[in-house]
Structures are given as C-alpha cells and as structure tokens.
Amino acid sequence: MLGTLVNAAAVVVGGTVGMLLNKSMPERFKSIYFQAIGLFTIAIGINMVWNMQNIIMVVGSLAVGSLLGEWMNLEVGVERLANALKKRFKIGSEKFSEGLITSFLLFCVGAMTIVGAIDEGTGRSNEVLLTKSMMDGFSAILLASAFGIGVIASAIPLLIFQGGITLLAMSAASFFTPDIIQGLTSIGGILLIGLGINILEIKKIRIVNMLPALVVVVIVIWIYNAI
C-alpha cells in the first residue's frame, strides 16, 4: 500500500500548492486557465480512447452504466454529499464537487492506476505507482489552482479505489486481464472527454451518472472472456 499512500500524499501536497497559487491569480487569468484545463482534460481523454478495443462492449457498457446511474440519480446524491461536506467543514469553494470528480477521474481511471496497483498488490514493485504519484502531484497543482480544495479531497476516494485494487490484486491479480484494463481505460477516457466539455461550458453532461459504466464494462468483458 506504500505506493497508494505516497500517491494520496502527493495529491494533497500538490493541491495545497495549487490553492496557494489560486489566491494570487487575477480573475481574467482564472478564466483562460479554466479553458486550458478543459482542453487538457479532453486531450487526456482522447489519448486514452485512441487505441480503443472491444468497441461494442465499451459502447454497450457506457449506455447501460449511464442508464443505471440515471436511475440511481447519482449526480444528485454526490451533490448532496458535497454540500453536506462543505457545510460540515465550512468549505466555501463553489467548485468543490466539480474539482473532486474531475480529479478523481484524472487520477484513478487510467491504465497506470490499475497496472500499478496490481504490481504492488502482487509484490512485484511499486515503481509504477511512485512514478504516477509524481505525475499526479504536478497535475494536482494545476487542478487545485483552478478548482480549489475539492482536488485535495479527491485523495480520499483515490485511497479507497486504488487501495481497493491493490488489496484485490493480493488475492486475484489474474482477474485484471489486459482486456479489462483496456476497457476501463476506454470508458475513463470517454468520461474525461465529457468532463472537458463540462469545464469548457459547451454543454452540461451528467458525468457522475455515467460512472457505473466503469463497473459494467468490467463485468461484461469478464463474462465475454469466460464464455
């Protein structure tokens, strides 16, 4: 779990530095900076889906997962939780939930997260997660200077998600086949493109309601490979 703990710490440190930069940034610079972050997010998403495989399963999983998320109304639930946390800890950031969700997806849905957690869980090496920690730390500086404390708060779901994969890999590393990793990466890339569109305020996409697609694609590909 050392790699995941270092990763979470890097996000907290980077996010803190980013928040300090945000305080001295004029409003007009913040506006153009948000646009740069939006384009950066879309670019990462495109890179993740560039070599997409099993397209039918990915599209089907995205559709089914989105319908499930809409049925559960996850977006409203997350907003209520975010508002409750803001009140409980007296957080004044207007973009708390947006920063939390954006950071979580950027830090947790890539191939490095899954491969690194599996490597650490099986006792091979934590080198991938340590490298990812450095990358996430610098990304957190950029994100926190735009979104605020929500980026720092994303260290908590990062610990749960990435740490959970590490613990699972200790007993079932063979479950995460290359096809499953590729499917998760493809869905994650699509969600990041949607997030970029939201940040650029082109259109409001209910990304949170699409998150169940990450679970659905794992189940679909696992069943397909088992047949």
CA pair distance 146, 133, nearest whole angstrom: 20
pLDDT average, residue stretch 173-181: 83
Q: What is the pLDDT at residue 204?
A: 87
Range of the domain at 70: 2-226
96-108 vs 2-23: helix crossing angle, rounded to 10: 140
Q: What is the pLDDT at residue 89?
A: 59
Residue 154 has pLDDT above 70, yes or no: yes
CA angle 148/152/157 to nearest 5° reads: 130
Q: Which of 67-71, 92-96, 139-143, 176-180 has the highest mean pLDDT?
A: 67-71
Q: Over the chain, what is the mean pLDDT?
A: 86
Question: Which residue shows structure tokens 């997260």?
Answer: 113
Both tokens of 91, joined, read 């957080």
Residue 166 has pLDDT above 70, yes or no: yes
Could you tell me which residue, 39 or 110, shows the higher pLDDT? 39
Q: What is the pLDDT at residue 94?
A: 67
Task: Give residue 58's pLDDT band: very low, low, confident or very high (50, 70, 90).
Answer: very high
Contacts of residue 157, defined as CB under 8 A and 6 or more positions apart, other chains included, come to 100, 104, 108
Contacts of residue 202, defined as CB under 8 A and 6 or more positions apart, other chains included, come to none
* Predicted TM-score (pTM) of this structure: 0.81
pLDDT average, residue stretch 136-162: 89
Q: What is the pLDDT at residue 168?
A: 86
Could you tell me which residue, 143 or 1, shows the higher pLDDT? 143
E strands, 45-186, are: none
Instruction: Summarize pLDDT for 77-126 with one digit per residue, the tens.
Output: 887 877 777 676 566 566 788 888 888 888 987 778 888 888 888 787 78
The tally of domains found in the chain comes to 1
Residue 54 near residue 183, CB atoms below 8 Å = yes
